[in-house]
């Protein structure tokens, strides 16, 4: 999940082949006026007659009239596709629901990639190191690995176009593409530049990662980054692997997990529940409820009975909250960390064409005991806050030097303090003490010891701080205590 505040992802029902009737009706507007090249628009009464003849709901008569008026009378040629897309977007916007959206092109592709946890790419993970983009990890056997890319390479261009100032999301969108197509990625490594030409291949994302806790090798830490199509299979494999490695208890890390597929959340929730226990309820707009109960149908007979704790934070949302609530209420598994996001609605996804789909909120979901957590979230049993170092604001400047002042300098000083480098005061002024601390860090890390925080220095500081935060994680430490007491 992402470190900045983000909109939560949905607990999604997948319905990729059935398009809602009313969505088809709106698209049908094209057919009603497609042949007209000029003349007068349909009157409201004529539009009503057209509606009655075609079986379209009477309420759409004004929409058809407006469509005809625009297509026949606007002083410029108008794209009918643009008009219908706009009508659909307007309809959804009127719901005042951020989770009901009309997805087109890249937005549709991104959702599909998230659901499937696979895409056409090169197998390299990109991260933002303050003012630059760099390669954070490379999967074995992927185009990036075979081409010779390395962790730490600074991303400059994709297919000859500068991406150095793009966001991670924008850069990733440029690199991903149709499987089998070629992409050229230019990076900076030290003082040199290199361009790697690679054929995109299918990349499957590991949505589940497991390792033994550094402080206790009998505790397995399982991190789920999102709930996607392969998540359940990956989760089972991870539990089995950790058991073989000696894990006697588990920590399920759902921090920074924005949600995903409801079916995956239900399956994993069932693994920690006794057969017959309610793992979640869905309530439609008429108050009718559908109850999901633990059992072989959901979990395939695979159960996790070891002592467990769940980590949550403000970006644990939707499917993450479904899982956390079920484990907490059914098996008295403690929640550790910070209050969760609080998203209690369910969305359906309907494919409208090869590059368009509609995501619509269709119900609200309730915890096993019937609680609706929307805008409320789940409160942890053991409250543990992130350390101050985890909340340091990103540095936007490409370079900081003696004499500079402001929030970026303050962030630099906070990083130095967190890493126990030098004795600079956090005052937002690049003074002598700050320069000395920066120079000390540069010397210790074989960087140009100028005392000026250049791009390489800022990136190295960010990496060191990230590693320290991962190693000294107070939430994991608290969870280890819970599962070993």
- Residue limits of CATH 1.10.101.10 in the chain: 389-471
Q: What pLDDT is attached to residue 22?
A: 36
Q: What pLDDT is attached to residue 431?
A: 97
- Residue limits of CATH 2.30.42.10 in the chain: 121-204
Q: What pLDDT is attached to residue 10?
A: 53
Q: Could you tell me whether strands 289-293 and 345-353 are parallel, antiparallel, or unpaired per DSSP bridges?
A: unpaired
Q: Is 208-383 a domain of CATH 1.10.287.110?
A: no
Tokens 């809602």 -> residue? 20
Q: Is 121-204 a domain of CATH 2.30.42.10?
A: yes
Domain 389-471 class in CATH: mainly alpha
Cβ-based neighbours of 27, under 8 Å, separated by 6 or more: 84, 88, 352
Task: Tell whether the torsion through CA atoms of 236, 241, 242 and 244 is positive or negative.
Answer: positive
Q: What pLDDT is attached to residue 320?
A: 96
Say how far apart CA 247 and CA 212 lie, in whole Å: 7
C-alpha angle 107/355/183, rounded to 5°? Answer: 70
Say how far apart CA 126 and CA 281 lie, in whole Å: 38
Ramachandran region, residue 460 (left: φ > 0; alpha: ψ -120 to 50; beta: rest) = alpha
Catalytic positions, please? 318, 343, 347
Asked if 367 contacts 373 with a C-beta cutoff of 8 angstroms, the reply is yes
Asked if 27 contacts 89 with a C-beta cutoff of 8 angstroms, the reply is no
Say how far apart CA 301 and CA 236 lie, in whole Å: 11
* Both tokens assigned to 147: 């081409």
The three-state (H, E, C) secondary structure of 140-152, written as one string: CCCHHHHHCCCCC
Task: Tell whether the torsion through CA atoms of 67, 72, 77 and 80 is positive or negative.
Answer: positive
Q: What pLDDT is attached to residue 191?
A: 82
Asked if 482 contacts 254 with a C-beta cutoff of 8 angstroms, the reply is no
| Closest among 267, 363, 365, 280 to 326, alpha carbons compared | 280
| Closest among 130, 144, 298, 125 to 225, alpha carbons compared | 125
* Both tokens assigned to 7: 């909109």
Q: What pLDDT is attached to residue 161?
A: 95
- Residue limits of CATH 3.90.226.10 in the chain: 208-383
Tens digit of each residue's pLDDT, the chain (485 residues): 222 333 344 565 444 444 433 333 344 443 343 333 333 445 545 545 555 555 677 888 888 888 889 999 999 999 999 999 999 999 999 999 999 999 888 777 777 777 777 789 999 888 876 678 888 888 888 999 999 998 888 999 999 999 988 888 889 889 999 899 999 999 998 888 999 999 999 988 889 999 999 999 999 999 999 999 999 999 999 999 999 999 999 999 999 899 999 999 999 999 999 999 999 999 999 999 999 999 999 999 999 999 999 999 999 999 999 999 999 999 999 999 999 999 999 998 888 887 888 899 999 999 999 999 999 999 999 999 999 999 898 888 889 999 999 999 999 999 999 999 999 999 999 999 999 999 999 999 999 999 999 988 998 898 899 889 888 999 999 999 999 99
């Amino acid at each position: 999940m992402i470190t900045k505040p983000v909109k939560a992802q949905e607990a999604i029902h997948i319905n990729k082949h059935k398009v809602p009737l009313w969505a088809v009706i709106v698209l049908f507007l094209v057919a009603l006026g497609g042949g007209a090249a000029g003349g007068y628009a349909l009157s409201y009464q004529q539009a009503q007659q057209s509606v009655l003849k075609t079986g379209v709901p009477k309420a759409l008569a004004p929409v058809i009239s407006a469509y005809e008026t625009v297509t026949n009378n606007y002083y410029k040629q108008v794209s009918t596709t643009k008009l219908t897309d706009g009508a659909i977007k307007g309809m959804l916007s009127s719901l005042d629901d951020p989770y009901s959206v009309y997805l087109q092109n890249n937005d549709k592709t991104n959702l599909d990639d998230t659901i499937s946890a696979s895409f056409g790419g090169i197998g390299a993970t990109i991260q933002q190191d303050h003012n630059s983009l760099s390669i954070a990890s490379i999967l074995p056997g992927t185009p990036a690995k075979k081409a010779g890319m390395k962790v730490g390479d600074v991303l400059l261009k994709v297919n000859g176009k500068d991406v150095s100032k793009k966001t991670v999301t924008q850069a990733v969108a440029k690199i991903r593409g149709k499987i089998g197509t070629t992409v050229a990625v230019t990076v900076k490594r030290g003082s040199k530049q290199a361009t790697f030409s690679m054929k995109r291949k299918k990349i499957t994302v590991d949505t589940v990662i497991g390792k033994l806790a550094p402080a206790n090798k009998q505790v397995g830490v399982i991190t789920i980054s999102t709930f996607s199509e392969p998540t359940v299979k990956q989760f089972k494999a991870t539990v089995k692997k950790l058991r073989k490695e000696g894990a006697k208890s588990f920590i399920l890390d759902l921090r920074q997990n924005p949600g995903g597929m409801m079916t995956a959340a239900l399956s994993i929730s069932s693994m920690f529940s006794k057969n017959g226990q309610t793992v979640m309820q869905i309530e439609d707009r008429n108050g009718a409820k559908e109850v999901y109960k633990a059992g072989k149908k959901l979990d395939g007979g695979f159960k996790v009975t070891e002592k467990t704790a769940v980590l949550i934070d403000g970006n644990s949302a939707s499917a993450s909250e479904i899982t956390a609530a079920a484990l907490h209420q059914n098996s008295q598994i403690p929640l550790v960390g910070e209050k969760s996001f609080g998203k209690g609605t369910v969305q359906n996804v309907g494919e409208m064409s090869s590059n368009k789909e509609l995501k619509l909120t269709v119900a609200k979901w309730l915890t096993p005991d019937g609680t609706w957590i929307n805008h409320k979230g789940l409160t942890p049993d053991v409250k543990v806050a992130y350390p101050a170092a985890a909340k340091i604001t990103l540095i936007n400047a490409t370079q900081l030097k003696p004499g500079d002042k402001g929030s970026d300098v303050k962030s630099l000083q906070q990083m130095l303090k967190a890493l126990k480098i030098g004795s600079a005061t956090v005052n937002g002024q690049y003074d002598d003490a700050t320069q000395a601390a920066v120079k000390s860090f540069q010397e210790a890390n074989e960087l140009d010891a100028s005392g000026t925080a250049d791009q390489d220095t800022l990136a190295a500081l960010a990496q060191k701080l990230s590693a320290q935060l991962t190693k000294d994680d107070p939430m994991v430490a608290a969870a280890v205590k819970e599962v070993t007491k």
